[in-house]
Amino acid sequence: MFTAYVIVTLLTAALNAWAGYVDFARAEWVIANMTRYGIPQSWLFTLGFLKALGAVGLVLGLGVPSIGVAAALSLVLYFIGAIVTVVRAQWYSHLRYPIPFLLLASASLVLRLITPD
């Protein structure tokens, strides 16, 4: 079970680190999506920072379980918020973007909780 936890957690961390980078780079498609969702561009750095911090927390959580739980739970809440934002904007075709992130963060959380220390 520990191997599955490590693989899922590293994948989740890598994808969130990439997503944070894309936010920091201010990719045009990200800015266009944020505008469509009704999110101010001034939030872009903060949102990218939260994703990057979650990625770092997941990696640290491999050695310190409480940090891993906190990071995974934070990412679950973050992506629930992202899904709510997409639904509120009524851009349902974009649900395919935050849902995999939510599922991976949820899997990281569950696997961390059921994996013995």
3-14 pLDDT, tens digit each? 999 999 999 999
Q: Is 93 exposed, middle or buried (0-12, 13-18, 19+ CB in 10 A)?
A: exposed
Task: Calculate the alpha carbon distances from 12 to 48, 87, 90 in Å.
Answer: 15, 23, 27
User: Which pTM does this prediction carry?
Assistant: 0.94
pLDDT of residue 116: 84
- Write down the domain spans for the chain: 2-114
Q: What is the mean pLDDT of the chain?
A: 96
